[in-house]
């Protein structure tokens, strides 16, 4: 890979940090670093473990963010991208929009981490869900799963139209809220799985492999590989396919581990396959034998 004399692209990653159960910044930082992207984390909350685990502790960092980001302005930090994930308060949405206005990053990816399988996460209220729509106004790419796309558009998940025309209509509704491009991930139709892209005015569906089980952290994994691809000069469709292939590879391996349900995505042995920003099936340089 030819090195950029100006250094690698730099992204502000506005996500939470969970101590156990890999997701958010514990996924974002290593994945983007492997893609060749410098990560500047701006943590929204610190959790003892991800929200799958009963009794988790959570410290909201909303009050710390203004001084944190004010110092970035004073340094000053130059950003090539802004990538947001889990938001723990309405005030954080306002702060995120202010970050965008201050730094004007060329690429902004909004992953509205709100829920999965038709249910919102414990930390999300309906009011916070409504406020999340404001974030779409700054998104170059919005990456909701079907649950999140339904919540953002006030669509009843149980009755959502998952045909091609139904998902396209859902994506266009999200685009009307301000997102330039929309990817609705993980749309299942019987034994087939699709990532559905609205790129500008053009809609397409990219089929990917359907795996037999779900795994915590796959959404963060997918969105991080996608972001890494975009920031290293790859196109949207290529970055989507790269993210889907890497996620499937990691899930295949993770399911062989006895503690996969609590461990979450075990991606470490495959990080070398992301060198250059896009997944390669076999780099010949794995960090571990698997």
d(CA 211, CA 191): 9
pLDDT of residue 183: 98
pLDDT of residue 13: 98
Model's pTM, two decimal places? Answer: 0.94
pLDDT of residue 237: 97
d(CA 113, CA 115): 6
Buried b (16+ CB within 10 A) or exposed e, 35-59: bbbebeebbbbbbebbbbeeebebe
| Number of DSSP helices (H) and strands (E) in the chain, helices first | 9, 13
Paired tokens of 158: 């149980």
pLDDT of residue 3: 47
Quick check: 160 and 166 in contact, CB under 8 A?
Answer: yes
Domains of the chain are: 10-274 (3.40.1190.20)
Per-residue pLDDT of the chain (290 residues; tens, 9 = 90+): 344 557 899 999 999 999 999 999 999 999 999 999 999 999 999 999 988 889 999 999 999 999 999 999 999 899 999 999 988 889 999 999 999 999 999 999 999 999 999 998 877 887 888 889 999 999 999 999 999 999 999 999 999 999 999 999 999 999 999 999 999 999 999 999 999 999 999 999 999 999 877 888 999 999 999 999 999 999 999 999 999 999 999 999 999 999 998 889 999 999 999 999 999 987 655 544 44
Quick check: 180 and 188 in contact, CB under 8 A?
Answer: no
Instruction: Tell which residue, 144, 277, 115, has the closest CA to residue 223.
Output: 144
pLDDT of residue 88: 81
In 111-180, the DSSP E strands lie at: 115-116, 119-120, 141-142
Q: Is the peptide bond before 158 cis (omega within 30 degrees of 0)?
A: no
Helix axes 218-231, 236-254, angle to 10 degrees: 140
């Amino acid at each position: 890979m030819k090195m950029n004399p100006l250094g690698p692209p730099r992204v502000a990653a506005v996500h939470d940090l969970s101590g156990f159960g890999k997701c958010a910044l514990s996924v974002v930082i290593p994945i983007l670093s492997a893609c060749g992207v410098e990560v500047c984390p701006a943590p929204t909350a610190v959790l003892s473990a991800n929200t799958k685990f009963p009794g988790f502790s959570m410290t909201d960092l909303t009050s710390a963010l203004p001084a944190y980001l004010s110092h970035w302005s004073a340094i000053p930090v130059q950003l090539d991208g802004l990538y947001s994930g889990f938001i723990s308060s309405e005030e954080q949405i306002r702060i995120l929009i202010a970050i965008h206005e201050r730094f004007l990053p060329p690429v902004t990816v909004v992953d509205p981490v709100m829920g999965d399988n038709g249910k919102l996460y414990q930390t999300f209220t309906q009011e916070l869900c409504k406020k999340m729509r404001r974030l779409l106004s700054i998104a170059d790419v919005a990456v909701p799963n079907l649950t999140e796309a339904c919540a953002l558009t006030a669509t009843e998940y149980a009755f959502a139209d998952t045909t091609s025309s139904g998902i396209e209509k859902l994506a266009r509704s999200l685009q009307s809220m301000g997102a330039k491009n929309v990817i609705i991930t993980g749309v299942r139709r019987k034994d087939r799985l699709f990532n559905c892209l609205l790129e500008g005015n053009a809609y397409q569906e990219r089929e990917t492999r359907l795996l037999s089980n779900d795994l915590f952290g796959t959404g963060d994994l997918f969105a991080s590989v996608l972001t890494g691809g975009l920031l290293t000069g790859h196109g949207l469709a290529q970055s989507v396919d790269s993210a889907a292939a890497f996620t499937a590879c990691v899930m295949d391996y993770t399911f062989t581990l006895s503690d996969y349900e609590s461990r979450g995505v075990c991606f470490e042995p495959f990080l070398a396959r992301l060198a250059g920003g896009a997944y390669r099936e076999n780099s010949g340089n794995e960090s571990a034998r698997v």
